[in-house]
Amino acid sequence: EIERAVEHEQGARLKAETEHLSTVQRRLQAHEELTGRKLEALQAKQDDSLATLSQEVEAKMVAERHTSQRALEDLAKELRDTDAVAAQEISGLDSFCGKLVKEVKDLESRLSIEVERQTTEL
Protein backbone atom coordinates (compact mmCIF):
# COMPACT_ATOMS: atom_id res chain seq x y z
CA GLU A 1 0.00 0.00 0.00
CA ILE A 2 2.89 2.41 0.54
CA GLU A 3 3.96 1.70 -3.00
CA ARG A 4 0.53 2.57 -4.26
CA ALA A 5 0.48 5.73 -2.14
CA VAL A 6 3.93 6.67 -3.52
CA GLU A 7 2.77 5.97 -7.09
CA HIS A 8 -0.38 7.93 -6.45
CA GLU A 9 1.69 10.81 -4.99
CA GLN A 10 4.05 10.67 -7.99
CA GLY A 11 1.08 10.65 -10.38
CA ALA A 12 -0.48 13.58 -8.57
CA ARG A 13 2.82 15.48 -8.66
CA LEU A 14 3.29 14.63 -12.33
CA LYS A 15 -0.27 15.75 -13.07
CA ALA A 16 0.25 18.98 -11.07
CA GLU A 17 3.55 19.61 -12.85
CA THR A 18 1.92 18.94 -16.22
CA GLU A 19 -0.91 21.36 -15.38
CA HIS A 20 1.62 23.90 -14.17
CA LEU A 21 3.65 23.56 -17.38
CA SER A 22 0.46 23.84 -19.43
CA THR A 23 -0.50 27.01 -17.55
CA VAL A 24 3.00 28.45 -18.00
CA GLN A 25 2.88 27.59 -21.70
CA ARG A 26 -0.52 29.34 -22.09
CA ARG A 27 0.78 32.39 -20.24
CA LEU A 28 3.91 32.40 -22.41
CA GLN A 29 1.79 32.16 -25.57
CA ALA A 30 -0.46 34.99 -24.34
CA HIS A 31 2.63 37.05 -23.54
CA GLU A 32 4.07 36.36 -27.01
CA GLU A 33 0.79 37.42 -28.62
CA LEU A 34 0.66 40.59 -26.54
CA THR A 35 4.29 41.35 -27.33
CA GLY A 36 3.58 40.76 -31.03
CA ARG A 37 0.60 43.14 -30.97
CA LYS A 38 2.61 45.79 -29.14
CA LEU A 39 5.45 45.37 -31.61
CA GLU A 40 3.02 45.78 -34.52
CA ALA A 41 1.54 48.88 -32.84
CA LEU A 42 5.02 50.34 -32.34
CA GLN A 43 5.91 49.56 -35.96
CA ALA A 44 2.72 51.30 -37.14
CA LYS A 45 3.49 54.31 -34.92
CA GLN A 46 7.05 54.41 -36.23
CA ASP A 47 5.79 54.23 -39.83
CA ASP A 48 3.36 57.10 -39.13
CA SER A 49 6.11 59.17 -37.54
CA LEU A 50 8.41 58.52 -40.47
CA ALA A 51 5.69 59.49 -42.95
CA THR A 52 4.96 62.68 -40.99
CA LEU A 53 8.65 63.55 -40.81
CA SER A 54 9.05 62.90 -44.54
CA GLN A 55 6.11 65.20 -45.29
CA GLU A 56 7.54 67.92 -43.04
CA VAL A 57 10.96 67.66 -44.71
CA GLU A 58 9.37 67.75 -48.17
CA ALA A 59 7.28 70.80 -47.21
CA LYS A 60 10.36 72.60 -45.89
CA MET A 61 12.29 71.74 -49.05
CA VAL A 62 9.47 73.10 -51.22
CA ALA A 63 9.28 76.28 -49.11
CA GLU A 64 13.06 76.73 -49.31
CA ARG A 65 12.96 76.11 -53.06
CA HIS A 66 10.29 78.82 -53.46
CA THR A 67 12.22 81.21 -51.23
CA SER A 68 15.43 80.61 -53.16
CA GLN A 69 13.64 80.98 -56.48
CA ARG A 70 12.09 84.29 -55.36
CA ALA A 71 15.49 85.52 -54.17
CA LEU A 72 17.06 84.58 -57.51
CA GLU A 73 14.26 86.28 -59.42
CA ASP A 74 14.68 89.43 -57.30
CA LEU A 75 18.43 89.35 -57.87
CA ALA A 76 17.95 88.87 -61.63
CA LYS A 77 15.55 91.86 -61.73
CA GLU A 78 17.99 93.96 -59.74
CA LEU A 79 20.80 93.00 -62.13
CA ARG A 80 18.63 93.86 -65.15
CA ASP A 81 17.74 97.22 -63.60
CA THR A 82 21.39 97.88 -62.79
CA ASP A 83 22.35 96.91 -66.33
CA ALA A 84 19.77 99.35 -67.75
CA VAL A 85 21.07 102.16 -65.52
CA ALA A 86 24.66 101.36 -66.50
CA ALA A 87 23.70 101.36 -70.18
CA GLN A 88 22.11 104.82 -69.77
CA GLU A 89 25.18 106.12 -67.96
CA ILE A 90 27.47 104.70 -70.64
CA SER A 91 25.32 106.30 -73.32
CA GLY A 92 25.55 109.63 -71.47
CA LEU A 93 29.33 109.25 -71.16
CA ASP A 94 29.60 108.42 -74.88
CA SER A 95 27.64 111.57 -75.70
CA PHE A 96 29.79 113.63 -73.34
CA CYS A 97 32.99 112.17 -74.82
CA GLY A 98 31.70 112.95 -78.33
CA LYS A 99 31.09 116.58 -77.31
CA LEU A 100 34.57 116.79 -75.75
CA VAL A 101 36.17 115.40 -78.90
CA LYS A 102 34.26 117.99 -80.99
CA GLU A 103 35.30 120.80 -78.63
CA VAL A 104 38.94 119.67 -78.74
CA LYS A 105 38.84 119.57 -82.54
CA ASP A 106 37.24 123.03 -82.63
CA LEU A 107 39.91 124.32 -80.25
CA GLU A 108 42.66 122.73 -82.35
CA SER A 109 41.19 124.27 -85.46
CA ARG A 110 40.93 127.73 -83.87
CA LEU A 111 44.42 127.38 -82.41
CA SER A 112 45.76 126.38 -85.77
CA ILE A 113 44.06 129.38 -87.40
CA GLU A 114 45.38 131.70 -84.66
CA VAL A 115 48.92 130.29 -84.95
CA GLU A 116 48.79 130.73 -88.72
CA ARG A 117 47.46 134.29 -88.39
CA GLN A 118 50.15 135.26 -85.90
CA THR A 119 52.80 133.62 -88.05
CA THR A 120 51.70 135.66 -91.08
CA GLU A 121 51.66 138.88 -89.05
CA LEU A 122 55.23 138.39 -88.02
Rounded Cα distance, 45 and 68, in Å: 34
Question: What is residue 3's predicted lDDT score, i.e. its pLDDT?
Answer: 86
**Sign (positive or negative) of CA dihedral 15, 17, 20, 26:** negative
Q: What is the pLDDT of residues 90-120, one digit of tens each?
A: 999 999 999 999 999 999 999 999 999 888 8
pLDDT in tens, the chain (122 residues): 888 888 999 999 999 999 999 999 999 999 999 999 999 999 999 999 999 999 999 999 999 999 999 999 999 999 999 999 999 999 999 999 999 999 999 999 999 999 998 888 87
Rounded Cα distance, 61 and 71, in Å: 15
Question: What is residue 2's predicted lDDT score, i.e. its pLDDT?
Answer: 84
Instruction: Please spell the DSSP secondary structure of the chain, one letter per residue.
Output: -HHHHHHHHHHHHHHHHHHHHHHHHHHHHHHHHHHHHHHHHHHHHHHHHHHHHHHHHHHHHHHHHHHHHHHHHHHHHHHHHHHHHHHHHHHHHHHHHHHHHHHHHHHHHHHHHHHHHHHHH-
Question: What is residue 24's predicted lDDT score, i.e. its pLDDT?
Answer: 97
Question: What is residue 1's predicted lDDT score, i.e. its pLDDT?
Answer: 83
